[in-house]
Amino acid sequence: MRLPLLLGLILSLLACTPAPQPVVRISGPTMGTSYHIAWAGSEHDRETLQQQVDARLVAINRSMSTYDPESELSRLNRGLLPAGADGWVRLSADLTEVLALALQVWRDSGGAFDVTIGPLVNAWGFGPQARPEHIPDAGFIRTTLAAIGSDAIRLDAGQQRLQLQKPLYIDLSAIAKGWAVDEIAAILEQHGISGYMVEIGGEIRTAGSKPDGQPWRIAIERPPLQDDGREVALVITPANTGLATSGNYRNYFEEEGVRYSHTIDPASGYPVQHNLASVSVLHESTALADAWATAFSVLGAERSLQLAEQHRLAVFLLTKEPAGFVQRTSTRFNALFPLAAETQEN
């Protein structure tokens, strides 16, 4: 009689144990790319959350897209936002916050991250216009350099207003996607969701764990042996943080045997020539991870590691050496992922 009694007790306990929540997934187009969101929760939240996510992303695009001619940022770039007699222009809370973060990284990176660099990006053929037949000459570069510079931006974040010391073209594409990831994560948390992954155009934020209790696992890509391939350098579990990766190995062109990267140095006006192929940054702010990844792509490995140590940033770099790709990491990264620090990529 004991076996049936024990079996009945086990079945009773199993019946009382709640079934694990499913992984709910939604996706859609945004910001010239796409978003993918997964969370541990109930399917009945899917429609409500997708509506809120889509609405928030539409609002962000209307504020800071450079592809929408009627966005707030596009109108600012064309001088169409009303200014007071003193030249101050009122901005939305969203645009003010992203500009403040962009200027913070501009200062901390010594100018390597500069949201006014768009005219140079366009001149080298990496903007929305058609690529020019030839690379720009030195005179044109000098003239264009004089027309850029975040030092000409005066931002009063407390009053949500901006004053430009000269006409500028501001492009927030190197920070806006990361910031949007943080905004979407905030929506999930407002719904009581503690385990999730949010990705927009390669910028990622994770929190908590999956329904089975396992952490979210994220692969960091390594430059492939062939241009159209994909390889994994490292798989990490970046709990409760944002991750952004920037690379110089996919978007480029060649002319007369010279390869020109899409990453333009704001100091020289020319594409970077160093051997840093890829950099990944982890930060509690995905927006700051996004911006720093771009700054480090400009600076190269040595200066990037110096700044990473100075600002206690978790950074994973891959440099192109004669023998192959070599992994380099910051102290903060090694503390977060000690096993990764023991592996050298070749």
Q: In angstroms, rounded to a whole number, what is the distance separating the alpha carbons of residues 249 and 261?
A: 8
pLDDT band at 5 (very low <50, low <70, confident <90, very high): very low
pLDDT at 4 over 50: no
pLDDT at 17 over 50: no
In the predicted model, what is the mean pLDDT of the chain? 87
**Average pLDDT of the segment spanning 19-36:** 89
For the stretch 114-159, pLDDT in tens is 999 999 988 887 766 666 667 889 999 999 999 999 999 999 999 9
For the stretch 303-323, pLDDT in tens is 999 999 999 999 999 998 888
What does the pLDDT read at residue 225? 56
Type of residue at 21: Q
Q: Answer for the pair 46, 24: CB distance below 8 angstroms, yes or no.
A: yes
User: Which tokens sit at 229?
Assistant: 């391939």
Q: Which residue has the tokens 């592809």?
A: 67
pLDDT at 95 over 70: yes
What does the pLDDT read at residue 124? 81
Instruction: Give percent above pLDDT 70 in the chain.
Output: 84
pLDDT band at 233 (very low <50, low <70, confident <90, very high): confident
Highest mean pLDDT among 6-20, 64-78, 115-129: 64-78
pLDDT at 248 over 90: no
Name, in order, each residue with C-beta under 8 angstroms of 144's C-beta and a sequence gap of 6 or more. Answer: 119, 120, 123, 136, 269
Highest mean pLDDT among 61-70, 241-250, 268-277: 61-70
Q: In angstroms, rounded to a whole number, what is the distance separating the alpha carbons of residues 295 and 107?
A: 11
The number of C-alpha atoms within 13 Å of 42 and in the hemisphere containing its C-beta is 6
Nearest Cα neighbor of 105 from 287, 238, 284 is 287
Give the count of beta carbons closer than 10 Å to the beta carbon of residue 215: 14
Highest mean pLDDT among 161-170, 262-271, 272-281: 161-170
What does the pLDDT read at residue 14? 41
Lowest mean pLDDT among 38-42, 255-259, 324-328: 255-259
